[in-house]
Amino acid sequence: MTTIYDVSRLAGVSAKTVSRVLNEPDRVKTKTREAVLEAMKSLDYSPNSMARQLRLGGGSSLGLLLEDPASGYQSRFHQALLTACMEAGKHMTVELFEGVMPDWQARVDRFLTEGRVRDLVLLPTLCDFAPLKDYLRTKGARAVLIAPSVYDTHFPAVVMDDRAASRQIIEHLFSLGHKRIGHITGHADHSASILRRSGVVEAYDAAGLPRPGPELFASGDFMFKKGIEAAEILLSLPDAPTAIFAANDETAAAVAMVAHKRGLSIPGDLSVVGFDDAPIASAVWPALTTIRQPYLEMARRVVQIIDGWEGQTRSSGNTSVFMTPHELIVRDSSGPARNRPGN
């Protein structure tokens, strides 16, 4: 690596002058500047950003640990963070954190050090991995948790109201006349799964209806494949539901696929509702009624929080939770309940 000194030597000027050519070209005589520029070119010089940052007290990047970048949630949140970072002029360093490998501490350490990360964002389910949070605290890193199952005294959280959203969906289906509604839950490790499920129950309670039997809850894991199995189970029920609310859009898409396979029309024979407003929600036919997750708003909030940390040594001790509003999007996959023999 060539340095500013090599350039200064070749150009016959002081290092400071080279620095000036780089940072305040107008304060250098044209002739000198040209000589310096030529020297830089011939030496193939490029400034050492580390030294610059050290001198200038440079900022660190926002760090994002991704457990499963193929997951719709993570990739969409990732994307929202990119946008929020761009808006705020921040940079983001991303790293895969797959499962818990034996040397995860060393990996995180290198991520913080080599990646120059001080503030990070933890998505589900990483945001619930206590050893990681402890380790981060040890290392003096700060973090924002996204939709954690449990709030943490040391890290603020940005969330949406999964329970309310879920209840809203069921009420939407009630209003269309549905009485038997199946629910495919999400992955058991995600708090959202539990919240969404309890939103379902809450809606029945609020409407003064008896809670649905356990046969109407099929377990899923937010993924397409498991969604197929779950849908098969629900639709094979002797008294099959007239509507299915899947814990996310991917699962809902699986339900739609199974329904088509069985010759059921949507929403004529079966209403299907998802959650997330993922691209797939508009890509399947018919387009899915769903809840739009406020990804971008949440990401912006994250950046705000981190911006507020500037200068502070670490996150303050008090828990703070930022709730972000969502939105029900009614598309074509939900419609009036059709009376079926037996209903």
Partner DNA sequence: ATATAAAATGTCATCGATGTCATTTTTGGC
Partner DNA sequence: GCCAAAAATGACATCGATGACATTTTATAT
Binding site for a copy of itself (CB under 8 A): 1-2, 44-54, 57-61, 66, 69-70, 75, 78-79, 82-83, 85-86, 89, 91-96, 98, 110-116, 118, 139-141, 224, 250, 253-254, 257, 260-261, 279-280, 282-285, 313-314
Cβ 90 to a copy of itself, closest distance in Å? 9
Residues in contact with DNA by CB under 7 A are 1, 3-5, 12-20, 22-23, 26-29, 31-33, 47-48, 51-52, 54-57
Cβ 116 to a copy of itself, closest distance in Å? 5
Cβ 60 to DNA, closest distance in Å? 13
Residue 81 CB partners (closer than 8 Å, separation 6+): 62, 64, 92, 121, 299, 302, 303
Q: Which strand ranges, in their side-by-side order, compose the sheet holding 181-184? A: 217-218, 181-184, 243-246, 271-273
Cβ 218 to a copy of itself, closest distance in Å? 18
The option from a copy of itself, DNA, none interacting with 198 (CB < 5 to 8 A, set by class) reads: none
Q: Toward a copy of itself, which CB reaches closer, 1 or 130?
A: 1
The option from DNA, a copy of itself, none interacting with 219 (CB < 5 to 8 A, set by class) reads: none
3-state secondary structure the chain: CCCHHHHHHHHCCCHHHHHHHHHCHHHCCHHHHHHHHHHHHHHCCCCCHHHHHHHHCCCCEEEEEECCCCCHHHHHHHHHHHHHHHHHCCCEEEEECCCCCCCHHHHHHHHHHHCCEEEEEECCCHHHCHHHHHHHHHCCCEEEEECCCCCCCCCCEEEECHHHHHHHHHHHHHHCCCCCEEEECCCCCCHHHHHHHHHHHHHHHHCCCCCCCHHHEECCCCCHHHHHHHHHHHHCCCCCCCEEEECCHHHHHHHHHHHHHCCCCCCCCCEEECCECCHHHHHCCCCCEEEECCHHHHHHHHHHHHHHHCCCCCCCCCCCEEEECCEEECCCCCCCCCCCCCC
Q: Are the CB atoms for 196 and 185 separated by under 8 Å?
A: yes
The option from DNA, a copy of itself, none interacting with 95 (CB < 5 to 8 A, set by class) reads: a copy of itself
Q: Toward DNA, which CB reaches closer, 139 or 261?
A: 139
The option from DNA, a copy of itself, none interacting with 5 (CB < 5 to 8 A, set by class) reads: DNA
Q: Toward a copy of itself, which CB reaches closer, 186 or 199?
A: 186
Cβ 32 to DNA, closest distance in Å? 3
Amino acid identity, position 325: P
Cβ 317 to DNA, closest distance in Å? 23
Q: Toward a copy of itself, which CB reaches closer, 52 or 179?
A: 52
Cβ 43 to DNA, closest distance in Å? 10
Closest CA to 275 of 289, 290, 294: 290
Cβ 194 to a copy of itself, closest distance in Å? 25
Q: Toward a copy of itself, which CB reaches closer, 59 or 177?
A: 59
The option from a copy of itself, DNA, none interacting with 325 (CB < 5 to 8 A, set by class) reads: none
Q: Toward DNA, which CB reaches closer, 22 or 328?
A: 22
The option from a copy of itself, DNA, none interacting with 208 (CB < 5 to 8 A, set by class) reads: none
Q: Toward DNA, which CB reaches closer, 309 or 322?
A: 309
**Quick one: tokens of 82?**
């990119």
What is the phi/psi pair of residue 140, to 5°? 75, 20
Q: Toward a copy of itself, which CB reaches closer, 22 or 330?
A: 22
Cβ 182 to a copy of itself, closest distance in Å? 19
Q: Toward a copy of itself, which CB reaches closer, 53 or 236?
A: 53
